[in-house]
Amino acid sequence: MREDRFRKAAKERRTLLNAWLTLNNPFLIELIGEAGWDCLTIDQQHGLGGNEALLSCLTAARAADLPAIVRVAENDPGLIGRALDAGAQGIMCPMIETLEDAEAFVKAVKYPPRGLRSWGPYRARLDYEGDYFTTANNWTIACPQIETKGALDQLDDILGLDGVDMVCFGPNDLSVALTGRLDIWASEVKEAMQLVLSKCREMSVMALIFANDADYAKPLVANGWDIVAAGTDAGWFGKAAVEVKRQATTP
């Protein structure tokens, strides 16, 4: 079985840098692995491509030794099971509003008796020696997003739910929910951010956070978040394209 990089790093209080993919290109994953990133998120909510792209990205991630989280488009057992069977270790679910939402999500990620995940791990079992079924619930990661006021209001209950292994703090959507504007630097967002990290530490839940850019990410790494995503592949490419053009045209 492959090393559980997420849980090992969390136990060691070591932050992992997460490459957040929206272009969902397998060659890009190879470059990200070569660059030394620790893990990745394949975004199927706001990213490109469907199931074929997902499968290609998970194949590349395995080859590059990058553990993968897939953000599904919605809290749907079919989408969740498909990503897990294809080899995702973690599933991130957006727009969790209530404890009931979180419970339904966990049930889709975990096998019986905890959950209702259907059997068929055609790629997921490739790294396993022995019985995948009896060990998968301790390997897979259910990661609801904390990006709504409802999820924040029920934070203790969601973090205390058996099978919630990690949460993802989403500052962009949460800023809109708390302030009515897109402002990730708002005091309300910063207070919620610290609350979530503190509660995750208290309840032994891994804490992932999305940062729009490196400047936003630096203090999060320093503050000890378990996993920090610094921008997206599309954002990196856009900035690099501007900078190369600037350099090429500057006397």
List 8, 14, 46, 245, catalytic entry: 46
In whole angstroms, give the CA distance from residue 114 to residue 226: 25
Domain 5-249: give its CATH architecture.
Alpha-Beta Barrel (3.20)
Ordered per-residue pLDDT tens for the chain, 251 residues: 688 999 999 999 999 999 999 999 999 999 999 999 999 999 999 999 999 999 999 999 999 999 999 999 999 999 999 999 999 999 999 999 999 999 999 999 999 999 999 999 999 998 777 789 999 999 999 999 999 999 999 999 999 999 999 999 999 999 999 999 999 999 999 999 999 999 999 999 999 999 999 999 999 999 999 999 999 999 999 999 999 999 999 98
Q: How is the chain split into domains, by residue range? A: 5-249
Extract the tokens encoding 208. Answer: 């992932």
SS3 80: helix
170 and 147 in contact (C-beta within 8 Å)? yes
151 and 95 in contact (C-beta within 8 Å)? no
Residue 202 is among the residues annotated as catalytic for this protein:
no
Predicted TM-score (pTM) of this structure: 0.96
24 and 48 in contact (C-beta within 8 Å)? yes
